Chain A
Amino acid sequence: MSARGINKNFGGVPALADVSIDLIPGEVHCLAGENGCGKSTLIKIISGAERPDSGEIIIDGVSFAQINAHAAIQGGIQVIYQDFSLFPNLTVAENIVLTAEVAVGRRLYAPASIRPRAEAILQELDIDLDLDREVGTLSVADKQLTAICRALVNDARAIIMDEPTTALTHTEVSRLFALVERLRTRGVALMFVSHKLEEVLAISQRLTIMRSGRQVVSGPTADFDQRSISSYMTGREVDDSRVVSELDVNAPLALEVTNLSLAGAYRDISFGLHKGEILGVTGLLGSGRTEIAESLFGVEVADEGQIRVAGEVVAIRSIQDAVAAGLGYVPEDRLSQGLFLDKSIADNIVAASLQSHRTRWGMLSRTQTAATIKRFFVGLKINARNADAPVRTLSGGNAQRVVLAKWLATEPTVLMLNGPTVGVDIGSKEEILELLRVEAAKGMSVIIISDDAPELVAACHRVLVIKNGRLTHVLEGDQISVDTIQERMSA
């Protein structure tokens, strides 16, 4: 399978410019690049979920100007999406076999003939799964196995895996790699999408790196090392140097958490956060890092434990409680949870701080809000024609600045940010981190929840590592490096 000269624009913005890629049987081809570089769009085009504006896809010598999902599957292309695209309400056996049945255009469905085929695949790959269980009740790793089995039952000759390791523990990743190796020896062409450098180097034979919609370089993986990959990915020598202010050891605690627990999410979490400190919280997806932040912000109320803000014990049972206590939270999925997309930048900036813009009569003071909007619009260098533009029209980096502005306007004691630079370009990324440094220096305490190790290294005074819902390590000073963080996170 090859894709040649693929172009794609979204509303005038080029998402892919002249990208070409080949998948060769018995070879693992890694597609690497930062978030938002166009990897997902390319996958969608190859799998037929999106139409390219120009370019061609060649399967077995047959050229397609565009391809639909059905034709792609018949051509032997299978995509394992990040969310797996399984049916939670059906059994494992059905999930494995159903798409193959669709692909051959079958009309009748015989439950009795399904099981043996699913069993055969499980045996072939030496995988242990309960075929009668509903997929919705499986663990993430098992869901992924189901998705891989499904791809193979379709006689996949090319399997594309989109960020397959994001939600896996260390052992699960090595198991997956062993499976990938076995598939490769069977002559399957694999495409492995990732932005984790060591994985890229460990698993692939060929490598393509993309940056903002362009194919930067392609070649045998042996020609690259971590350093060259990261410079190709970011387009410059990466500067993950630590810029951390000296923290006053006697600064009072802004936030103190004791023995916080939520059944099934995390257990016995205790830590303190000084005034003016930037604290990193890291862990794998599903480790409980997000749930801890959500509990502090009253989204998922904790079962047990005590929270003190500026020395006072506070009971956080709702988001209102958290805001009243002086906590702010920038969620992971800012588009759906953090912004009013169709409202203007101005409205979004003051959305969380309306209470503090009241006149004596309880009305909204126009002059005050205008002042706040201007302060943040200019101060955070939000790149838009004016503050009346709807947030929907902004790029990731600018949208993130609007969310930041919204919470900074509430003047929180503690600001928690979940994945503050996900989907944000490199330039904005550094500026956003710098902004946080400045706010921290002014006395705000910041918690950054992230699995982006370089970002944590760049900005955090201390880093907490969460694993399986427990606080396993507290990294300080010289211990904070990309290697230690990644090692502690997945070990």
Chain B
Amino acid sequence: MDVLRRLRGTNNEGVLALVLLGLIVAMSIANPTFFTLNTGFSILRSSIVPVIFALGVLIVVITGGIDVSFAAIAIFAGYSTVSFCLTAGFDPGLPGIFAIAIGVGVALGFINGIVIARFNLPTLIVTLGTQGVFFGAMYTYVGATYFADLPGSMAALATSNLFDVTTDTGRAYLHVLVVPVILLCLAVGWVLKRTMFGRSLYAIGGDIEAARRAGFQVQRTQVSVYMLVGALAAIAGVIHIVLSRSANPRDLVGGELDIIAAVILGGAAIFGGRGSVLGTVLGVLLVQVIKNSLLLVGVPSAWLRTAVGVLLVVGVGIQAIAAHRDARRTRVIQDLDTDLKKEQELV
């Protein structure tokens, strides 16, 4: 029983892994071309950017908030960095490019954080508003030109693979950027589990008033959270541009649904206080595999958004039903507790 519970995980990660595994097996039986290194690597490649986004969304969701401006921050940071490098005609190298982009992302995240924490406004509405503001500001001040050529260092990164294998179905490439994503996951996981900052996120998500009374610096933490999301979004933005080998200001915005659905499916509670990196990564993979397999079985791509939307509603629905059931169970437990005590007293 205990082993089972451990396998299931605190946020149902085990169940999710099982669903993912089941899906992969089912797809492989239905369509043999699915179960190849090729597909595997390409799903991993397409998961790189969503995973980074999802880490950011996870952090916000744990505190009980939601951020829908991350895609706008990502493209703002990534695109304006590329635009700046190309128009100024110099290449600061990869560390330089990431540093500039992260700086921009953190600044934009700071705006979100200050507005939300200082004026205590609903996070969804604020980030919905800033999403528009950031996007519009980028068009107005940075431009809307499509850059087909990237600075040299980025272009070089675009074609670097960790390794490539020749299989009977063709060559399979594993992109080198998988490595920093894994490192980021480990880092965020460590922050959440092993730092007071991480624990304070769960505390705030659990009960914000209690967190205040316990002496947590709630406002400061909230601002830091949105700055961190900004930084993660900026990294994702640059990586997206690298992977697509061009800088298109119209990319990313509009794809928030996939990310939020993945995080919620991954067991993060939309009411805050729950969520893990492992669950989130599984959630992203699940969404990517479902999208991929729907394409393979011939579902028109127009239906993909519908499928993801359904997943989001199912994910939230499961949480709501579970919460309702738990509430009932606590009442029954209390009932039994008092009954038990009474019996003990009688004895």
Binding site for B on A (CB under 8 A): 47, 49, 69-70, 73, 79, 81, 85-90, 94, 98-99, 101-103, 106-111, 136-137, 139-140, 169, 171, 263-265, 286, 468-469
Q: Which of B195-221 contact A (CB under 8 A)?
A: 195-200, 202-203, 205-207, 209-216
List the A side residues contacting B297 at CB < 8 Å.
Answer: none
Stretch at the interface among B33-41, B109-117, B244-252, B334-342: B334-342
Q: Decide: B215 and A107 in contact? CB cutoff 8 A.
A: no
* B313, CB-defined interface residue at 8 Å: no
B198, B329, B331: most-surrounded residue (chain A CB, <10 A): B331
Q: Which 8 A-B pairs have the closest CB atoms?
A: A89-B273, A264-B331, A87-B206, A85-B210, A264-B332, A89-B206, A99-B214, A70-B215
List the A side residues contacting B328 at CB < 8 Å.
Answer: 263-264
Determine how close the nearest CB of chain A comes to the CB of B269; give it in whole angstroms.
8
* B194, CB-defined interface residue at 8 Å: yes
* B345, CB-defined interface residue at 8 Å: yes
Q: Decide: A264 and B273 in contact? CB cutoff 8 A.
A: no
A482 to B269, CA, bound (A): 46
Determine how close the nearest CB of chain B comes to the CB of A137; give it in whole angstroms.
6
Determine how close the nearest CB of chain B comes to the CB of A406; give it in whole angstroms.
29
* B296, CB-defined interface residue at 8 Å: no
Known: A90-B202, A98-B199, A109-B196. A85 touches B335 (CB 8 A): no
* Number of B residues with CB within 8 Å of any CB on chain A: 40
A148 to B29, CA, bound (A): 57
A79 to B210, CA, bound (A): 11
Q: Decide: A87 and B210 in contact? CB cutoff 8 A.
A: yes
Residue of A whose beta carbon sits closest to that of B344: A171
A77 to B269, CA, bound (A): 33
A89, A108, A265: most-surrounded residue (chain B CB, <10 A): A89
Q: Decide: A106 and B196 in contact? CB cutoff 8 A.
A: yes
Binding site for A on B (CB under 8 A): 193-200, 202-203, 205-207, 209-216, 269, 272-274, 326, 328-335, 337-339, 341-342, 345
* Known A90-B206, A109-B195, A110-B194; 11 more pairs at CB < 8 Å: A69-B213, A88-B273, A89-B205, A94-B199, A98-B199, A102-B215, A106-B196, A108-B195, A171-B341, A468-B338, A468-B342
Residue of B whose beta carbon sits closest to that of A106: B196
List the B side residues contacting A108 at CB < 8 Å.
Answer: 194-196
A264 to B339, CA, bound (A): 12
Q: Residue B213 contacts which of A47, A89, A264, A469 (CB distance < 8 angstroms)?
A: A47
Residue of B whose beta carbon sits closest to that of A94: B199
Residue of B whose beta carbon sits closest to that of A85: B210
A296 to B194, CA, bound (A): 49
Determine how close the nearest CB of chain B comes to the CB of A69; give it in whole angstroms.
5
A49 to B209, CA, bound (A): 10
Q: Decide: A85 and B338 in contact? CB cutoff 8 A.
A: no
Q: Decide: B273 and A107 in contact? CB cutoff 8 A.
A: no
List the B side residues contacting A286 at CB < 8 Å.
Answer: 334
Q: Could you write out 10 A-B pairs with CB less than 8 Å apart?
A: A69-B213, A81-B213, A86-B207, A88-B206, A89-B206, A94-B199, A98-B214, A107-B197, A111-B194, A169-B338
Q: Residue B203 contacts which of A73, A87, A169, A265 (CB distance < 8 angstroms)?
A: A87
A140 to B203, CA, bound (A): 20
Determine how close the nearest CB of chain B comes to the CB of A273; give it in whole angstroms.
26
List the B side residues contacting A89 at CB < 8 Å.
Answer: 202, 205-206, 269, 272-274
A139 to B329, CA, bound (A): 11
A140 to B345, CA, bound (A): 19
Q: Decide: B196 and A139 in contact? CB cutoff 8 A.
A: no
Determine how close the nearest CB of chain A comes to the CB of B220; give it in whole angstroms.
12
List the B side residues contacting A111 at CB < 8 Å.
Answer: 193-194
Determine how close the nearest CB of chain B comes to the CB of A257; give it in whole angstroms.
20
List the A side residues contacting B269 at CB < 8 Å.
Answer: 89
Determine how close the nearest CB of chain A comes to the CB of B215; give it in whole angstroms.
4
Q: Decide: B342 and A85 in contact? CB cutoff 8 A.
A: no
B211, B215, B334: most-surrounded residue (chain A CB, <10 A): B215
